Amino acid sequence: MSSSGPKPGSSGLLSARRDAMVLAVLITAVLLLIWNGSAFFNHLRIEGSAFASDVRVASTALTLNVALILFGWRRYIDLQHEAEVRAEQEKRAALLATTDPATGLYNRKGFADRAAQLCQEAGGRSDNLVVISFQVHRFKAVNDQHGYEAGEWLLRSIADALRDELGDGAVIARLSGDEFAVALALGEAGTQGAEELADQVLRLVSRPVLLNDRIIQVGAFAGIASAPAADARIPDVLRRADIAMDRARSGRVARPVWFDAGMERALIAHGEIEQGIRYGLDHEQFVSYFEPQVDLASGEIVGFEVLARWKHPLSGVIGPDVFIPVAEEIGLIGRLSEQVISEALREAAQWDPALKISVNISPSQLTDGWLAERIVRILSETGFPAERLVVEITESSLFADMDLARSIVTSLKNQGVRLALDDFGTGFSSLAHIRSLPFDIIKIDRSFVTNVSEKRESAAIVRAVTTLAAALSVPVCVEGIENEDTFKAVVRLGCAIGQGWYFGKPIPAEQTRELLAARHRRRDERPPAAAVHG
């Protein structure tokens, strides 16, 4: 890799000043020597009688002049050495400013500088600048399992492989811990050449390597962006490649991903949502909506599931699919969930004490060892009875840490809280979960319910779950009942509780109070089937 750091221009100026000073000293010494010699001989001619005394004077002057010349020369040598040291230090500082010390590749600044030079060289040929940004996958696991020395060795191995394979025409950089970038100018090869190069990079990074009789193998995610070399701004092209790489990483895409403008718009929208969530939490814009849960045999409402909604001042009511993933990503899902649950329980504490209130716990919350204590604190603050609360835990969230999940579930059960296994059937060890954890309700995932009246396979799965639950004395709740055919099918299959738009869409607290009041007035006047459909 060739370095292109800043020119040490200050050392050239220092050298010129140094040479001028030394030359002045030498010229002065020589002039003094000539002047003193001339004075001596003139004096000798005029005053011959004082010859001996003048010889002593001349000798002293000559000695002083010679000493001055030697001093000037020594100073010249010292200044020359100082200039060389200074120049070497400037060169080293420039190298450190543009080079990653661990791998010898360019760092972010060096990449920008050298890629800009590459653009100047390629602009006249009308080439495109292509930037490939890639991140080593599971690099942290290498550090954790084998130590940081092994991680640094792996980085150097990757750097050497990239240098050997890509050659001098590529600008290669390590941007941060496990993130790298490659820039090169491509002409006729264009898009296909860039993709082939990115595939080559991924193969190099993913190849197994041997360290101390151990095979280490990692993966990588890559993004590609390009721009005409004559007009390219390196920070912009690199940022776009990073955005494409993030898309590959979030989607677990093993092939290189090209940047497109939609990714940037999505990123901007993501940032706006993130800022909106932070503002909304501070100003209590997240509210609870209630979806009714109905006893399929009697048609009576037996409870509600609490769903979060965002009352945005400009966009109106926003559904959870927009903000929940972002809240989980930025670590605010716990705070958001607690805010919504607190509001819901404070409201529902005034309702019929026979009604159960179900709340969802996200997978990230289930990794919080203090989750049970937080829920108990909310119950205490809102005055809501623990036996009326149902905490829904998705089956997939149990895999992260089964021991911690068991501890949280047990703590909640000891406080009298009921537990529901949500999205049953979508995990990998459902029977083991039912047997090892004390769930009170099983909720069948809507994917098995939506077409249960049309597909025999779905009906068979629902029947098997209800039969198993009945043997364990655990009621089954089915989600996603959207029409009468589905309603009749799940009733015929033996399900106990249902919810879905067939019974009513999620509504805010005020409308829920009105619904409960109206149903209470009509409860003895309408038959169960008609009440259910209403």
Which residues are the active-site residues? Answer: 479
Longest CA–CA span in the chain (Å) reads 153
Alpha-helical regions (H) of 349-483: 371-382, 402-414, 430-436, 456-471
- Residue 307's identity, in one-letter code, is L
Among all chains, which residue has been given the structure tokens 């050449």? Answer: 193
Asked whether the beta carbons of 329 and 335 are under 8 A apart, the reply is no
Task: Determine whether 260 is exposed, middle or buried from the number of CB atoms within 10 Å of its CB (0-12, 13-18, 19+).
Answer: middle
Here the contacts of 11-18 (C-beta below 8 Å, separation 24 or greater) are: 11/83, 11/86, 11/87, 11/90, 14/83, 14/86, 15/83, 18/76, 18/79, 18/80, 18/83
Strands (DSSP E) along 259-300, which ranges? 286-295
Half-sphere exposure of 171 (CA within 13 A, CB side): 29
Q: What b/e string do you get for 46-69 counting C-beta neighbours within 10 Å, with b at 16 or more? A: eeeeeeeebeeebeebeeebeebb
Tally of CB atoms within 10 A around 197 = 22
> What are residue 305's DSSP bridge partners?
291, 358
Q: What b/e string do you get for 417-441 counting C-beta neighbours within 10 Å, with b at 16 or more? A: bbbbbbbbbebeebeebbeebebbb
